Structure 1
Amino acid sequence: MTAPRIEALPEGLANLADFEASAQARVDAAAWAYLNGGAADELTLRANRTAWDAIQLQPRVLRDLSGGHTRVPLLGRELRHPLLLAPIAYQRLFHADGELATAHAAAAQEAGLILSAQASVDMEAVAAPMLADAAAGPLWFQLYWRDDRDFMRALLRRIEAASFEALVLTVDAPVHGARDRERRIGFKLPDDIRAVNLGGVKKPLDLQPGQSALFDGLMPRAATWREIDWLRSESKLPLLLKGVTHADDAREALARGVTGFIVSNHGGRALDTLPATAELLPPLRAALGSDIPLLVDGGIRRGTDVLKAMALGANAVLLGRPYVHALAASGALGVAHALRLLRDELEIAMALSGCKTLADAGPALLWPGNSPLKDSR
């Protein structure tokens, strides 16, 4: 399949949340739990959303905003807007076209795309529509470490040959979080959906009596700083780390040649009780200075959320679950429409806040009484 299906949009779509009901009606209950659930008590999952709501804006008025725009620089490119689609696995669980539809939508709306290592469509097919449109945003590939350097080396060569522009290594989920919703409903992948870009067979655990499957089996295979060094030596592509939340880890990564970071708590799916990403972002920006690429995900639903993220120091934002809701509701057209809605809302928020460009969105745009920056002002 080279082109996605064209489907009608549900009626009454005014914002990203409006896709959710249509999506749930079309998605298997187990797959819905996999997509929307979080870890443990889902405190971090909820915090991601409520943190953006709690931040208030302090607009300026009577400014000349003619000629304003949403363009931002990122990794040597000028993007039409700061919206990228986050890496989400197994998208054919939610629509038959899966990641192919997502890529066509991203290209049509000039958005960036980070393809999950666990994509259910071949990476070359996903890359094609992004590469065919010169206005499309950046195309990056997200990695999970696998303890097989021959396999990883071959995967890197394939990623480079498919013209992906950067690598994103997820570092905050060496094992799954305790996802109660998935366990209650008994989620498992259907036989016809798999991570098609990850061939080969994982090595079986070799455990001795009394050893822990996690600490003696899985964790010795997880990435460490040695693997960061190896990735930097094996590929010339920029490397971003997704899931760094501590400034000391970020500084260590920079010293080892990492290019930038995605501030993320894995959508609340890994370790519960982490702070919301809106709270994690400002101290990382303060620690790293203004020149290091810093993106953020988690709970982004409105154009005002995007504007707040930029004011807190982000270079761009990642949209997650809402675009998969749109995919489930109406395929490529749904994802494209969701992106357009969010971009329109961002422009409205900028105009009403007195921001001609996103460079105008700084700490002064945020009401100091409830900003995550309040303690550092």
Structure 2
Amino acid sequence: MTYAEMRSAAKMNLNGTCRVCPVCDGRVCAGEVPGMGGKGTGSAFMANVSSLAAVKLNMRLIHEAAKPDMSFSLFGKTMSMPVFTAPVSGTSINMGGKFSEAEYISWIIRGSLDSGVYPMVGDTAIEQFLIDNLAELKKAGGEGIAIIKPWEAASVVDKIRLAEDAGAFAVGMDIDAAGLVTLSLHGKGVSPKTPAEIAAVRKATKLPFILKGVMTIEDALAAADCGVDAIVVSNHGGRVLDGTPGVAEVLPEIAAACKGKITVLADGGVRSGVDVLRMLALGADAVLLGRPLVVASFGGMAEGVKLAYSRLRAELESAMILTGCASLADIDGSVIRR
């Protein structure tokens, strides 16, 4: 299967919920929530892509970084590159319904692990989806992370217990889903969380805990004070609040404020290995990849996911060579053209 063949198949299998555009920037699918688009005008989705693309890189070729080391370690796990598969769920709600959640997530998990990358699995308004996701994760030896929606605290803890039983090596909560329309349409209650609520949920598990959906310095520092192990700088792919800045706009200030306090992950608009390097140069320790892997899985199942990651890895390696970065530690602000 070629990359072009995978994308062509995905366009058909996604049943119009994603047009598999040449540039996935949210323009064609603006307002399509439910669906794969951004909220309202789609400006937050578009800002993720445009703000990251605006980061220009210094090309440096007088150096010895011919074979860069892209490996990354977190929570005792080592990966082939600093990328996690984002917790995208909801095949029947957002992805056209051609495949079941179990089919989709099995391809995501297998393709990610075969690529040396760890998957994050999530839950939705349809409770069976989390059960399916965790069942598939358990089949894979629990080699992944479970991200829970910001339900009432007792429900979050109950679902964390399910993730623990499945063998997940870390858990988290995506507080940026507090305004997700697809949940309210199903009568499911989600809400913002107080520091006390976050701290209580964090204390309910011995696993590393991630808080996803941080877009300000204030929230980042509050998360650190609550004892979480990592944050994800994210606006939920532009799917919850119209008019937010792009992640690349706020990431540098958040990363600077959190330096030495907490691990900083980021997602939003990452489409290539060059984008991964950009996010790291802006201060992220690693990134999450979402929509491109939905396309890859719907177009080529696990093989499609592996194909997408193989392409991403080659792009990141090339970008590191061409910016003079022998390891991830070398990727800093110096590679950005100011």
Deviates more, 1:102-111 or 1:237-246: 237-246
Match of 1:88 in 2: 88
Q: How do 1:220-239 and structure 2 match up within 5 A?
A: 222-239=192-209
For residue 172 of structure 1, the aligned residue among 173, 176, 180 is 176
For residue 246 of structure 1, the aligned residue among 216, 219, 223 is 216
Q: Deviation of residue 240 (structure 1)?
A: 1.3
Structure 2 length-normalised TM: 0.85
For residue 278 of structure 1, the aligned residue among 235, 248, 257 is 248
For residue 307 of structure 1, the aligned residue among 263, 268, 277 is 277
Q: Which amino acid aligns with 1:26?
A: N
Match of 1:40 in 2: 40
1: CA distance, partners of 2:302 / 2:78: 25
Q: Which amino acid aligns with 1:241?
A: L
For residue 266 of structure 1, the aligned residue among 216, 236, 244 is 236
For residue 111 of structure 1, the aligned residue among 117, 120, 142 is 117
Percentage of matched positions with identical amino acids? 29
Match of 1:334 in 2: 304
Structure ID, larger Rg: 1
Match of 1:58 in 2: 58
Q: How do 1:338-357 and structure 2 match up within 5 A?
A: 338-357=308-327
The structure-2 alpha-carbon separation of the partners of 1:304 and 1:294, relative to structure 1 and needing over 3 Å to count, comes to same
Bigger relative contact order, structure 1 or 2 (CA pairs below 8 A, ≥6 apart): 1
List runs of 5+ in structure 2 lacking aligned partners. Answer: 20-31
1: CA distance, partners of 2:330 / 2:35: 35
Q: Deviation of residue 224 (structure 1)?
A: 2.5
User: May I ask how many residue pairs the two structures share in their alignment?
Assistant: 312
The structure-2 alpha-carbon separation of the partners of 1:12 and 1:142, relative to structure 1 and needing over 3 Å to count, comes to closer
SS at match of 1:356: coil
Counterpart check, 1:24 vs 2:35 = no
Match of 1:128 in 2: 139
Is the Cα contact below 8 Å between 2:66 and 2:321 reproduced in 1?
no
The structure-2 alpha-carbon separation of the partners of 1:12 and 1:106, relative to structure 1 and needing over 3 Å to count, comes to closer
1: CA distance, partners of 2:75 / 2:248: 22
Residues 169-224 of structure 1: CA deviation (Å, up to 9, x unaligned): 111231325x9xxxxxxxx99xxxxxxxxxxx96xxxxxxxxxxxxxxx57x6533
2: CA distance, partners of 1:108 / 1:280: 33
Is the Cα contact below 8 Å between 2:210 and 2:228 reproduced in 1?
yes
Match of 1:134 in 2: none
1: CA distance, partners of 2:3 / 2:225: 50
The structure-2 alpha-carbon separation of the partners of 1:302 and 1:94, relative to structure 1 and needing over 3 Å to count, comes to farther
For residue 140 of structure 1, the aligned residue among 145, 154, 164 is 145
Structure 1 length-normalised TM: 0.76
SS at match of 1:173: helix
Match of 1:69 in 2: 69
2: CA distance, partners of 1:94 / 1:367: 44
2: CA distance, partners of 1:99 / 1:351: 33
Counterpart check, 1:366 vs 2:329 = no
List runs of 5+ in structure 1 lacking aligned partners. Answer: 1-8, 132-137, 180-187, 190-200, 203-217, 369-377
2: CA distance, partners of 1:352 / 1:130: 37
Q: Which amino acid aligns with 1:48?
A: N
Q: Deviation of residue 30 (structure 1)?
A: 5.1
Is the Cα contact below 8 Å between 1:104 and 1:130 reproduced in 2?
no
Is the Cα contact below 8 Å between 1:170 and 1:243 reproduced in 2?
yes
Is the Cα contact below 8 Å between 2:172 and 2:211 reproduced in 1?
yes
What do you get for the CA RMSD once the two structures are aligned?
2.4
Match of 2:22 in 1: none
The structure-2 alpha-carbon separation of the partners of 1:100 and 1:173, relative to structure 1 and needing over 3 Å to count, comes to same
Match of 2:27 in 1: none
1: CA distance, partners of 2:178 / 2:156: 16
Q: Which amino acid aligns with 1:234?
A: A
2: CA distance, partners of 1:130 / 1:352: 37
2: CA distance, partners of 1:176 / 1:258: 23
